A and B are shown apart, each in its own frame.
Chain A
Amino acid sequence: MTDAAELRRRTHELLAAHPPAGTERLEFLRARFDAGLAWVHFPEGLGGLGVPRSLQAVVDAELAAAGAPDNDPRRIGIGLGMAAPTILQYGTEEQKRRFLRPLWTGEEVWCQLFSEPGAGSDLAALGTRAVREGEDWVVNGQKVWTSSAHLARWAILIARTDPDVPKHRGITYFLCDMTDPGVEVRPLRQITGEAEFNEVFLTDVRIPDSRRLGEVGDGWRVAQTTLNNERVAIGGMRLPREGGMIGPVSRTWRERPELRTHDLHQRLLRLWVEAEVARLTGERLRQQLVAGQPGPEGAGMKLAFARLNQEISGLEVELRGEEGLLYDDWTMRRPELVDFTGRDAGYRYLRSKGNSIEGGTSEVLLNIVAERVLGLPAEPRTDKDVAWKDLAR
């Protein structure tokens, strides 16, 4: 029985054996993983102790108080949030032992090769092909909107292994070595001027069958674990009043009375109210989760924040008047971390346009709410029983 007290004891043991002040960062992180204190809900031997996830906070608080280094989770979000739970659920023992430790310590960065130019909202229609040759799979195709691809050592990849069956059934899930000579990563410049994302071209990339995750043809089901965890990772944050996009514009309003107009005032107050109510909705959702009564409200949060971010940042560009004609910097850069509320108003306005596209378009999310929450009839599915190779494209 491992409870909070036992976790505290183990954490103090780790700190005693590896005092943060005198230990190299990576060495400390490896020791923490081996002590089962990395992600306590993972099994023993794989960085955890098989205890409830809620107990992680106990460990994190003790380590933070001791000034221990963390694994910079924002930099390795795709590995932690998406690859790791999928490998845990579907990986072989060998795969779990090989990949999870360097993933968690950040020694090996992961990226996600899912979206394609021809498969966005309809991800299951993807056309990247994987063909079996002896003990290997040979992969050809193009992926897009891949963050961290230029930093990544490994990728989670879904590819078509059987074009003769309907689209959901012919997909297989792989762990792809990003150093393979057939992998070419090109920055994808966005409307903001920078390139957070990449295009990834796969040409005769050889993946050993031992790096297949799950059964052949079962990749769509495996990918659901990845995508469901993406949605878990979003939300759950506790925001103070004016904590989001409404913060910068409110400060500008207060500090720059010369910019104020009556029209902008009315619009600002409306958006301030909506932002505060959206914050309360997020807080209510969080309280429901803590109380063990998760509601369907989360499905709507992303919709609300996308629209508000866009409207608020658009208002701010207008508020700035002549300055709104300017932009801070169009230099093509490769930011490692993205802050939607960072930089200037023009950047925020342009970047927030992506909020209603990335991670599920607002239009698809409205369908999901209508069908799964309200129980309205599903969209007609004309492709359900058609072999992938016969689909219109």
Chain B
Amino acid sequence: MSAQPDLLYSEEEEALRAAVRDLLTDHCDAAGVIARTESAAPHDVQVWKALSGTMGLAGLLVPEELGGQGATHREAAVVLEELGRAVAPVPYLTSAVVATEALLACGTDGLLAELASATTIGALAVGLHVAPGGAFANARLEKGALHGELTGIADAALADVLLVPADDGGLYAVDASAATVTPQVSLDLTRPVARVTLEGAPGRRLGDAEPAVRRALRAGAGLLASEQLGLADRSLTETVRYLKDRKQFNRPVGGFQALKHRLAQLWLEVVNLRAAARGAADALATGEDADVAVAVAQAYAAPAAVRAAEEALQLHGGIGMTWEHPAHLYLKRAKADSIAYGTAGAHREALAELVDLRAP
């Protein structure tokens, strides 16, 4: 805890943000996202290809010598802020962060280069709700083949390869075509979860599951805070814009002090959320104080993003309750995110140990 984290955005990070925002503004509008959630293919493969292929962003966390961009969690966090702002239905967090981190923990597997170049999409076959350090379900390893059912696997429907923890303590790469992936009806249709059924699927052992899963979930939880920042920031911005425009009682609704104060409080929370999310991203990048920084960020970000989405819905009034208006996309993502990679409560429990504020 000697050095302070760098909590600002560099010029390069701002340039990266602008490029991602341009892409999403042109190719990932809310109406399109809503329409897609009603189809059989909720993910936006075109946007994913543009992000990962053309812009090369799937490989940010992978060193250059392993086929990646050799950037850090700070840059990946900026990408996630923008994806959160657009509630973009792409497997960036699940493949380019979580599955990638699991592979990095296992060493220099060739899969890394495939994930980095996005020729392959990966998914860690651990329930999205599991916190770093939390217990997770394993597949059974019998005679060299994998058996069992794993549920709540985010973005599994789109994955080419599943990273499956097995009861021998190993992490296995399983070709998605060797498993049965059944979509579960999900609260958040922009990051749907699925059931993975393995009936004698062949797997290739990558390394030890425990440290790989722990590392992957820690990075996922930490960078999720940046996605939550994007969700909250956009919810606030859109609500302020709407309340300046919307008139009732012959006045802009945003002139009523009861609403002004709620929006000002929300702004304060978004400001705090930004500092917490930058703190976590920087700590993951430097490795300094990362456990505490991630737990702090997630304990703060999860309820803050939910509140922003809930306030946005309420302050929009009736229109916010419609399927047509995008407010529900933010609410559903924010609520699902509040469970993803551990609830705020789970992260507070972790902090109790980390900062020595122990339970009775």
Enumerate chain A interface residues (CB-CB to B < 8 A). 238, 240-241, 250, 253-254, 257, 260-262, 265-266, 268-270, 272-274, 276-278, 280-281, 283-284, 287-288, 291, 293, 297, 300, 303-304, 363, 366-367, 369-371, 373-379
Contact of B360 with A260 in the complex, beta carbons under 8 Å: yes
Closest A residue by C-beta to B303: A270
For B271, B272, B352, which residue has the most chain A Cβ atoms within 10 angstroms?
A: B271
Given contacts A240-B1, A283-B275, A375-B244, contact A366 B8 (CB under 8 A): no
7 residue pairs, one from A and one from B, having the closest CB atoms: A377-B255, A370-B260, A260-B360, A369-B264, A280-B275, A284-B7, A281-B275
Closest residue of A by beta carbon distance from B355: A272
For window 262-297 of B, CB contacts with A under 8 Å fall at: 263-265, 267-268, 271-276, 278-279, 296
Min Cβ gap A282→B in Å is: 8
Task: List 5 extra interface pairs beyond A241-B1, A257-B358, A260-B358, CB under 8 A.
Answer: A238-B4, A265-B357, A280-B278, A283-B275, A377-B254
Q: Are A376 and B254 in contact (CB under 8 A)?
A: yes
Contact: B300 with A274, CB < 8 Å? Answer: yes
**Contacts A269-B352, A269-B357 hold; do A376 and B271 have CB atoms under 8 A apart?**
no
For residue B243, CB closer than 8 A to chain A, the reply is: yes
A375 touches B240 (CB 8 A): yes
Q: Which residues of B have CB within 8 Å of A304?
A: 268, 272
Assuming the contacts A280-B276, A375-B244, A376-B254, asked whether A269 and B348 have C-beta atoms less than 8 A apart, the reply is yes
Q: Which of A281, A291, A379 is packed against the most chain B CB atoms within 10 Å? A: A281
Name B260's contact: one of A241, A268, A367 (CB within 8 Å). Answer: A367
Q: Give the shortest distance, in Å, between A372 (CB) and chain B (any CB).
A: 10
B-side contacts of A241, CB under 8 Å? 1
CA of A373 to CA of B266 in the docked complex: distance in angstroms? Answer: 12
Q: Which B residues lie within 8 Å of A293 (CB)? A: 8
A374 CA / B271 CA spacing, docked (Å): 13
A265 in contact with B359 (CB, 8 Å): yes
Query: B261: CB under 8 A from chain A?
Result: yes
A-B contact pairs, 14 of them (CB 8 A): A238-B4, A240-B1, A270-B348, A276-B296, A280-B5, A281-B272, A284-B8, A293-B8, A300-B271, A366-B265, A367-B264, A374-B260, A376-B243, A376-B255
Q: Is the CB of B1 within 8 A of A277?
A: no
Q: Does B181 contact A (CB under 8 A)?
A: no
CB nearest to B260 among chain A residues:
A370
Q: Once bound together, how far apart are the Cα atoms of A272 and B360, in whole Å? A: 17
Contact residues in A for B240 (Cβ distance below 8 Å) = 374-376
Residue of B nearest to A362 (CB): B261
* Residue in chain B with minimal CB distance to A378: B255
A200 to B260: give the CA distance in the assembly, Å. Answer: 36
**A297 to B7 Cα, complex, angstroms:** 13
Q: Which B residues touch A281, using CB under 8 A? A: 271-272, 274-275
